[in-house]
Amino acid sequence: MKKSLFIAVALFLLEGIYSQPLWAKVYIDIRSPSFRRFPIAISPFSTALSPSDTMRLGERATEILSNDLSISGFFALIDPRTFTENSTRIPPAETSPGSGQGETAGPEGIDFRKWAHVGAEALVKGEVTYKDRSLSLEARLYDVVKKELIIGKRYIGEVTDLARMVHRFADEIIFALTGEQGIFQTKIVFVSKATGNKEVYLMDFDGRNVNQITRQQSICLSPRWSPDGTKIAFISYKAGNPDLYIKDLRTGEERRISHYPGLNISPAWSPDGQRLALTLSKDGNSEIYTIRPDGSGLVRLTNHPAIDVSPTWSPDGKKIAFVSNRGGNPQIYIMEATGENVQRLTFEGKYNTHPAWSPRGDRIAFDASIGGNYNICTIRPDGSDFKILTANLGRCEMPSWSPDGRHLVFSASRDGGPHIFLIDAEGTQIKKLTFQRGGDTYPNWSSRFRDGG
Amino acid sequence: MSRKSSVWLIVFVCVIALAFIASGCAKKQVVKEEAAAKLPPMEAKKEEVKPAVTPEAAKPAVTPEAAKPEAAPKAEAAPPEAAKPEAAPPAAAIAPESIDLSGLRIQFAFDDYSLSNKSKENLEKIGSWMSKNPNAKIQVEGHTCEIGTDEYNLALGERRANSAKKYLEGLGVTPSRMSTISYGKERPLDPGHTEEARSKNRRDEFVQTK
């Protein structure tokens, strides 16, 4: 952990060597309801290592970047096979020889007309250098139409930082072209039975770098990121009962914070990270309460003989959606964060569970049994505009939103599994993220945080 | 009506008295057994009432009867005559100290936690065993099928465990002798994905604890 902190600092310091204000032009208007996909070309990253680039650094960087921009849904990636330019080394006229003095690399060396000819409006070029065990990534984004540089960055770190560097640059591209923060440095926590026991795992948002983070050798469930990205709340049967734990990712420490008799399940962090909503059954019935992350300050919210479970907060922290079968079967309800004013949200179907409130506040996702199939659905918090998002993916459950509210991850039992899948909020693009034996479920998407790890 | 029936009654009594005197107790037993064999359900009802009168003899007779209907005639003979010697074999058939709790698991309908009659029967057996073994403690495990998400099923499993525990409390088992835990859908009995498999998984399991 400490090492990556050092690297992160190094990365941070060396960023922002080249930059240009771009307030004048709006490249992608993401607020427009039907914006067209922005055509961008990624020229394959070169490696200043050739001919013996056994690590394929340039190739991997290109692949990670292409994947990121493709997942975002903002772009139409120009097919690299249309590129006629074979050599992708940045011509000498562009590079300032390793000094990083902020000299603007003149884009005159690039034949923008050729790129415009294949339909690109923006172009990314980059180079990876590996020397003396130090990895350096230099990348630039150009406006093909105006024939000028938009942003240029250089990152320095270790060879294991390649993905992180590329994700960071991808976020810069998103910010430069849309004005919104990107999500490429975010992570997903989930449950996998790969070891034979259900344990908590971490991975990058695109499915790479899977890491096991608990070794309870029991049953672990419901992992949930704290909003600041430093802790994971989760349930474990390690002590012989479903209890609530919080793991600090910085120190590795795991602390049991709720172990009342009966259930201590379904944790949900408030958006300000000051409280957790959870389900306890200690008072005779499963009800929703809130507590502080140290386990103190218990407040009861629901008071009904039915099952009340699975809370999720609105992004402004004022309301909580949850599951209750007080109407006879499990449906989604909404209440004030004080527990008052319970209103039913879902009326379609007989089995709606696992609500997840979008960070944009405008929709709530949940899994629903419809005609014998389980699919991910979304609905507005006022109950209107019910939409079915998934189809033909087997049993789809447990949705979780990306921090920009444009994507969801969920667990689906297509191809055996279950495995974790990624889908955009319109339901048009699907990508399988996990491939482990034993089954992967319960994904939870982190917020954007300043440092990826 | 009364005159005619009282005449018949007197005749009937005489016949019986004659039979009684002539053949002794054994024959009477034979008669009773045959009657029992012909009408097992009615005799069963009689058994339930008996405990109020002769608790020691009746109770061992009742439980084996419920478990082994074919032994009914034998059990019938016990209460009317020489209760103790007849009762001894049935009592030995279930040793008071041990019980196969795993065989007494109870099933539930989908998304439901109410007890069926069969479930209540099993719970009565458990309750009976617990009353004869005052030091015994059990844990009731609530389980669900795979349908639906983990969290809701954890709550449902807990309901199922509590249903059974409350019923046992009603039978007189002290609450402190029973603990509950819900495993939701985490520990299926049958990992299959058919409805047959799922219906097996909607259950409570009973485990003896220290």
Whether residue A22 lies inside any domain: the answer is: yes
Mark whether A169 and A242 lie in a shared domain.
Answer: no
Mark whether A197 and A151 lie in a shared domain.
Answer: no
CB pairs under 8 A between A and B: 70
Domains of chain B, by residue range, sit at 2-93, 101-209
The pLDDT, as a whole number, for residue B11 is 65
Mark whether A359 and A267 lie in a shared domain.
Answer: yes
d(CA A245, CA A282): 17
The pLDDT, as a whole number, for residue A50 is 53
A9 Cβ contact list (under 8 Å, min separation 6): none
The pLDDT, as a whole number, for residue A371 is 79
Whether residue A430 lies inside any domain: the answer is: yes
Query: What are the tens digits of pLDDT across the range A218-248?
Result: 999 999 999 999 999 999 999 999 999 999 9
Query: What are the tens digits of pLDDT across the range A163-214?
Result: 999 999 999 999 999 999 999 999 999 999 999 999 999 999 999 999 999 9
Partners of A41 in the beta sheet? A123
Q: What are the phi and psi torsion angles at A440 (to 5°)?
A: -120, 130
pLDDT above 90 coverage of chain A, percent: 73
CB contact under 8 A, A265 and B159: no
| Residue ranges in A338-416 assigned as alpha helix (H) | none
Structure-block tokens of residue A357: 């409130």
Mark whether A114 and A212 lie in a shared domain.
Answer: no
d(CA A200, CA A202): 7
- Residue A315: what residue type? P
Range 114-173 of B in CB contact (< 8 A) with A? 147-152, 154-156, 158-159
Task: Mutation target for B interface from A307, A353, A400: give the one with most B CBs within 10 A.
Answer: A307
Mark whether A64 and A122 lie in a shared domain.
Answer: yes
Residue with tokens 């996702």: A365
Report residue A321 CA to chain centroid gap.
Answer: 22
Q: Regarding predicted confidence, which is higher, A1 or A56?
A: A56
- Chain B residues with beta carbon closer than 8 angstroms to that of A263: 154-155, 158, 182
The alpha-carbon gap from A403 to the nearest alpha carbon of chain B, in Å, equals 23
How many structural domains comprise chain A? 2
pLDDT band at B98 (very low <50, low <70, confident <90, very high): confident
- Chain B residues with beta carbon closer than 8 angstroms to that of A354: 149, 151-152
| pLDDT over 60 (residue A1) | no
Which of A178, A207, A234 terminates a domain? The answer is A178
Chain B: residue whose CA lies nearest to A266: B151
Which of A127, A160, A178 terminates a domain? The answer is A178
The alpha-carbon gap from B110 to the nearest alpha carbon of chain A, in Å, equals 11
Instruction: Check if A352 contacts B (Cβ < 8 Å).
Output: no
The pLDDT, as a whole number, for residue B35 is 37
Q: Hey, how many other C-beta atoms are within 10 angstroms of the C-beta on A439?
A: 18
| pLDDT over 70 (residue B28) | no
Region B89-111: mean pLDDT is 75
pLDDT band at B155 (very low <50, low <70, confident <90, very high): very high
The pLDDT, as a whole number, for residue B97 is 64
Report residue A268 CA to chain centroid gap.
Answer: 17
CB contact under 8 A, B151 and A279: yes
pTM higher than 0.80: no
Instruction: List the single range of A282-296, B27-41, B133-147 with lowest mean pLDDT.
Output: B27-41
Instruction: Check if A306 contacts B (Cβ < 8 Å).
Output: no
Whether residue A450 lies inside any domain: the answer is: no
d(CA B200, CA B183): 15
- Identify the burial level of B109 via C-beta atoms within 10 angstroms of its C-beta, where 0-12 means exposed, 13-18 middle and 19 or more buried: exposed
d(CA A349, CA A366): 12
The pLDDT, as a whole number, for residue A28 is 85
Q: Regarding predicted confidence, which is higher, A285 or B20?
A: A285
Whether residue A437 lies inside any domain: the answer is: yes
The pLDDT, as a whole number, for residue A449 is 74
Mark whether A230 and A366 lie in a shared domain.
Answer: yes
Whether residue A451 lies inside any domain: the answer is: no
| Domain B101-209 in this protein, CATH class | alpha beta
Q: Residue A338 to residues A278, A313, A342, A356: CA-CA distances in angstroms?
A: 14, 12, 10, 19
- Domain of residue A91: give its range: 2-178
Task: State yes or no: cis peptide before A293, omega within 30 of 0.
Answer: no
| CATH number for position A368 | 2.120.10.30
d(CA A10, CA A12): 5
What's the maximum distance between 2 C-alpha atoms anywhere in chain A?
75
Residue in A263, A367, A397 closest to B155 by CB:
A263
| pLDDT over 80 (residue A83) | no
The pLDDT, as a whole number, for residue B73 is 39
Mark whether A278 and A216 lie in a shared domain.
Answer: yes
The alpha-carbon gap from B172 to the nearest alpha carbon of chain A, in Å, equals 20
Q: Residue B111 to residues B96, B108, B116: CA-CA distances in angstroms?
A: 35, 8, 14
ipTM tops the 0.85 cut: no
Region A109-115: mean pLDDT is 87
Range 189-228 of A in CB contact (< 8 A) with B? 198, 219, 221-222
Region A61-74: mean pLDDT is 95
Mark whether A215 and A346 lie in a shared domain.
Answer: yes
Mark whether A135 and A191 lie in a shared domain.
Answer: no
Residue with tokens 């983990």: B150
Mark whether A23 and A161 lie in a shared domain.
Answer: yes
Q: Hey, how many other C-beta atoms are within 10 angstroms of the C-beta on A48?
A: 16
8 Å CB contact between B74 and B86 = yes
Task: Mutation target for B interface from A200, A281, A324: give the one with most B CBs within 10 A.
Answer: A281
| CATH number for position A162 | 3.40.50.10070
Mark whether A149 and A241 lie in a shared domain.
Answer: no
Structure-block tokens of residue B190: 């049958």
Which of A137, A156, A178 terminates a domain? The answer is A178
CB contact under 8 A, A263 and B159: no
Mark whether A245 and A391 lie in a shared domain.
Answer: yes
Query: What are the tens digits of pLDDT across the range A381-416?
Result: 999 999 999 988 888 999 999 999 999 999 998 877
- Identify the burial level of A432 via C-beta atoms within 10 angstroms of its C-beta, where 0-12 means exposed, 13-18 middle and 19 or more buried: middle
Quick check: helix, strand or coil at residue A369? strand
Query: What are the tens digits of pLDDT across the range A127-153?
Result: 999 888 899 999 999 999 999 999 999
